[in-house]
Chain A
C-alpha cells in the first residue's frame, strides 16, 4: 500500500475518535447534532479516500492478469468453434 494512502487511512481513523465533540450538543443546520454531522462527514471523507485509492493505488497487475485470462478464454473459445 502506498504511503500516501496509508497516511490518509490512518488520519481517518484518528479523526474518527472525535473526543473534541464528545459532549457537544450544538445543532448544525438547526437540526443535526454536531456529533452526527461530523461522523456523516467522516463517511464522505472515507469515500473520498477510497476514490483516491482506486484512482492512484489500484493493483495494475490484477487488471493485466484479468485481461490476459479473458484473452486466453476468447482464444480457446475461438479454437473450439
Chain B
C-alpha cells in the first residue's frame, strides 16, 4: 500500500507542476507548441535527455545486461553518447536557426520548404507517425505492467490475479489509464512549457533514484559493512561471459552504431530543438548528454550483471522476463518505501518520453495536415484548440490500442529506431548538401520503406515459424566472407539503400532552384 501512496503522490505532484506551467502560458499557438522559443540551457538539457531516455534506460538496460553482459553499455549507451550529441550539434543547432527564421513548428514544414515539394510532406507524414506509434505503445503498456507489479498486494480483494507477483496490484488497464490521464493533463494545459518543466523534473527524479537504488541493492546483495566492500564482492562474483563480450558479435556491435542516428529524425526531438532560446542553449546539452547517459546506464548495467551471480538469494526465484529484473530486485531487496520511489522513477522515465510524443503528434496533425490543407487561415486560438483536440485523440487511440496488448510491440522498438536512422541521410543532406533534390529525397524515403519492409517481413516470417516474436527483436543479416559469418544489424543495409538512392537520384535530376538554395545556404 505504501508504494501505491508514493506513486499517487508523485503523479499528483506532476499534475500540479503541469498546472503551474499552464499559468505561464502566453495564449499563443507558438507558446503552446514551442514555448515561444524560451527554453534555456538547463531545461533544454533535461528535456532532451528525458525525451531520448525511455523506460528502457532503467528497466531495459538492466534486463539487457542480465542477458548479454556488460557489452550492452558499449553497444547502446556509449555509442549514443557520441552520436546523440553529434546530431544535436550538426542538425539541432542549424534546424533551430531555420525554425526561428522561417517559423517552422514541424520537421515536415522544413522539408516541404527546403525541397520545394508539397508531396514530400504527404509521404513523410504517415511514416513518421507510424514509427512513433509503436514507441508510444511500448511506453503506455510498460507503465501498466510496472504499476501492477509494484502495487501488488495493495488491493487483494479488489484486483486478485492467479499470479502472486501481480495479485492485488492495479490492473494494467487502470495503471495505463492513470498514466495517460496525468500526461494528457499536463500536456493539454501546459503545452510545450508544461512538457519541458515536467521532463526536467522527471529526469532529475529518475537519475537520482537510479543512483540511490544502485547503492541500496549493492549493500543488500553484498551484505558487508561498507559499499566499497560490497562492490568488490559483487564484481568478483560476476562470471567471465557477463564481465566480457565473448558471446557478442563484433560486427553487430559495430553496425549498432547507426541506430542512435535515429535521434536526427525523431519528430518529437525536432520540436524540442525549436524550443531553444538561442543557439547557445544547445551547448550544455551537447556537452553533458554523454555524461548523463553514463550516470544512468553504468549503475543499471552493473545491477543487471550482479543479478546473474550466486549472491542473489535463491528465493523468490528470478522472473523469466529480463525486463522484470530491476523491479524484482527493488521489490525484494529495497523495501516498500524505496520500491515506491523507484516505481515513480521508472514511470518518470516513461512519461518524460510519452509527453513529448503526444504533443508532437498533436502539433503535426494541426500544422502539417489541417493547417496546411484545410484551415490555412486558422487564428491562434483555433490552432491551440485543434492541437489540444488532436492530443486528446492521439492519447485515446494509443490507450485503446494498448488494451489489445499487441504481442510483438516490444520487439518493434529497434525497428522503429532503424527506420528513423535510415532517414538520417535525408536530414543531413537537407542541411549540408546543396545538390539534394526533391526526387533524391523521394528516392531516399522510398528506398527506406522498401528495404525496411523487406527485412521486417523476413523477420516476421521467422517469428511465425518460431511461434514467438523473439526473431523480430534479434534479427540480423548474416554475411559470409572467406568462410566466416558476420552478423550485421539490418539498419546498416537500410541506411545504405537510403543513402545510395538519395545520392544517385539527386545527381541525375534537376538541381534545386537558386532562390531555395539562397534561403538555406550561405553564399
A residues contacting B by CB (< 8 A) are 1, 9, 12-13, 16-19, 21-25, 27, 29-33, 35-36, 38-40, 42-44, 46-47, 50-51, 53-54, 58-59, 61-63, 65-66, 69
Shortest CB-to-CB span from B274 to chain A, Å, is 13
In the complex the two chains form, what is the Cα distance from A24 to B100 in whole Å?
50
Contact of B243 among A19, A33, A46, A62 (CB under 8 A): A33
Q: Is the pair B291, A16 in contact by a Cβ cutoff of 8 Å?
A: no
The reply to whether the CB of B491 lies closer than 8 angstroms to some CB of chain A is no
Q: Is B520 an interface residue (CB 8 A)?
A: no
A54 adjacent to B100 (CB under 8 Å): no
Contact A44 B290 (CB under 8 A): yes
Within 346-373 of B, Cβ neighbours of A (below 8 Å) are at none
Q: Are B234 and A39 in touch, CB under 8 angstroms?
A: no
Q: How many angstroms between the C-alpha atoms of A12 and B80 in the bound complex?
A: 12
CA distance A13 to B74 in the complex (A): 11
Q: Can you give 25 contacting A-B residue pairs, CB < 8 Å? A: A17-B253, A17-B254, A22-B245, A23-B246, A24-B244, A27-B236, A30-B231, A30-B236, A31-B232, A33-B243, A33-B244, A36-B70, A36-B301, A43-B78, A43-B290, A44-B291, A44-B294, A47-B287, A54-B282, A54-B283, A54-B287, A58-B283, A62-B97, A63-B279, A66-B279
Chain A residue nearest to B241 (CB atoms) is A25
Tell me how far the C-beta of B300 lies from the nearest C-beta in chain A, rounded to whole angstroms: 11
Contact status B89-A53, CB under 8 Å: yes
B101 adjacent to A50 (CB under 8 Å): no
> Are the C-beta atoms of A25 and B243 separated by less than 8 Å?
yes
Q: B67 within 8 Å of A by Cβ?
A: no
The answer on a CB contact under 8 Å between A50 and B244 is no
Contact A43-B254, Cβ < 8 Å, known A22-B246, A36-B301: no
B231 closest partner in A (C-beta): A31
Task: Give Cα A46 to B248, complex, Å.
Answer: 23
Beta-carbon contact of B73 and A16 below 8 Å: no
Please name all residues of chain B whose beta carbon is closer than 8 Å to the beta carbon of A42 when the two chains form the complex: 74, 78, 81-82
Which of B86, B283, B522 interacts with A61 by CB under 8 Å? B522
Contacts of B278 in A (CB 8 A): 63, 66
Further pairs besides A30-B235, A42-B78, A63-B278: 11, Cβ < 8 Å: A16-B78, A17-B253, A27-B235, A31-B231, A33-B238, A35-B244, A39-B74, A43-B293, A43-B294, A53-B89, A62-B96
- Complex interface bits, B72-86 against A, C-beta within 8 A gives 1, otherwise 0: 011001110110011
| Chain B binding surface, main DSSP class | helix
With a cutoff of 8 Å between Cβ atoms, the chain B residues found around residue A63 in the complex are: 278-280
Whether A22 contacts B85 by the Cβ 8 Å rule is no
> Does chain A have a CB within 8 A of B257?
yes
Docked CA distance A27–B282 (Å)? 36
| Contacts A39-B74, A40-B78; A59 near B93 (Cβ below 8 A) | yes
- Interfacial chain A residues near B294, Cβ < 8 Å: 40, 43-44
Q: Is the CB of A36 within 8 A of B302?
A: yes
A contact residues around B97 at 8 Å (CB): 59, 62, 65-66
Q: A1-B90, A33-B243, A35-B245 are in contact. Are A46 and B85 (CB under 8 A)?
A: yes
B298 at interface, CB cutoff 8 A: yes
> Does A23 contact B81, Cβ atoms closer than 8 Å?
no
Min distance, Cβ B372 to any Cβ of chain A, angstroms: 25
Query: What's the nearest-Cβ distance from chain A to residue B269, in Å?
Result: 17
Distance between Cα atoms of A22 and B250 in the complex (Å): 9
Chain A residue numbers with a CB within 8 Å of B86 are: 9
B71 at interface by CB-CB < 8 Å: yes
Cα–Cα distance between A24 and B237 once the two chains are bound (Å): 15
User: Which chain A residue has the least Cβ–Cβ distance from B233?
Assistant: A31
B291 touches A43 (CB 8 A): yes
Contact B290 A32 (CB under 8 A): no
Which B residue's beta carbon lies closest to that of A17? B254
Asked if A62 and B94 make an inter-chain contact with CB atoms under 8 angstroms apart, the answer reads yes
Q: Inside 8 A of B235's CB, which chain A residues have their CB? A: 27, 30-33
Q: Is B286 an interface residue (CB 8 A)?
A: yes
Residue of B nearest to A18 (CB): B74
Asked if residues A51 and B78 are in contact (CB atoms below 8 Å), the reply is no
B123 at the binding interface (Cβ < 8 Å): no
**CB of B479 closer than 8 Å to a CB of A:** no
User: Is B288 on the interface with A (CB-CB < 8 A)?
Assistant: yes
Q: CB distance A25 to B279 under 8 Å?
A: no
Measured between alpha carbons, how far is A71 from B234 in the docked complex, in Å?
A: 59
- Given A35-B244, A66-B279, check contact A40 B298 (CB 8 Å): yes
CA distance A39 to B90 in the complex (A): 23
Q: Tell me whether B240 is interfacial, beta carbon within 8 Å.
A: yes
Contact B246 A50 (CB under 8 A): no
Q: Distance in Å from the Cβ of B69 to the closest Cβ of chain A? A: 8
Docked Cα-Cα span, A61 to B96, in Å, equals: 13
Query: Which of B250, B279, B301 is the one whose CB lies under 8 Å from A59?
Result: B279
Complex Cα–Cα for A21 and B282 (A) = 34
Residues from chain A with a CB closer than 8 A to the CB of B77 are: 39, 43
The distance in angstroms between the C-alpha atoms of A44 and B245, with both chains bound, is 21
Q: A16 is contacted by which of B70, B257, B282 (Cβ under 8 Å)? A: B257
Complex contacts, A43 vs chain B, CB 8 Å:
77-78, 81, 290-291, 293-294
Indicate the member of B70, B232, B278, B302 with the most A CB atoms within 10 Å.
B70
Alpha-carbon separation in the docked complex, A27 to B236 (Å): 8
A40: chain B residues within 8 A (beta carbon): 73, 78, 294, 298
**Shortest Cβ distance from A35 into chain B, in angstroms?**
5
Chain B residues, Cβ within 8 Å of A31: 231-232, 234-236
Q: Which of A19, A35, A50, A61 contacts B70 (CB 8 A)?
A: A35
A47 to B292, CA, bound (A): 10
